[in-house]
Copies of this chain bind each other. A is one copy, B any other.
Amino acid sequence: MSVSLWDELLYNYQKRLVEHYKNPCVEYSLIIHNHGDRAGASIAHPHSQIMASAIIPSAIERELENSQKYFKRNDRCVFCDLVNDELKTKERLIFENEHFLATTAYAARFPFEVWVMPKSHQSDFVQMDKDARIQLGQIMGRVFASLDQKLKDPDYNFYIHTAPPRQGDPSAYYHWHIEILPRLTDMGGYELGTADFIDVVSPEKAALFLKN
Contact = CB atoms under 8 A, between A and B. Distances in A.
Interface of A: 30, 32-34, 37-42, 49, 51, 57-60, 62, 157-159, 161, 179, 181, 185-196
A189 B57 contact: no
A189 B60 contact: no
In the complex, the count of this chain's copies comes to 2
B189 A39 contact: yes
A37 B187 CA distance: 10
Contacts of A195: 57-59, 62
B194 A58 contact: yes
Contact of A189 (B40, B58, B187, B194): B40
B57 A185 contact: no
Contacts of A189: 32-34, 39-40, 49, 157-159
A191 B187 CA distance: 12
Contacts of A191: 40
B38 A193 contact: no
Contact of A30 (B59, B60, B190): B190
A57 B194 contact: yes
A192 B30 CA distance: 11
A42 to B, nearest CB: 8
A192 B186 contact: no
A193 B161 contact: yes
A187 B190 contact: no
A112 to B, nearest CB: 14
Nearest to A160: B193
A49 to B, nearest CB: 7
Given A40-B189, A41-B188, A188-B41, A30 B194 contact: yes
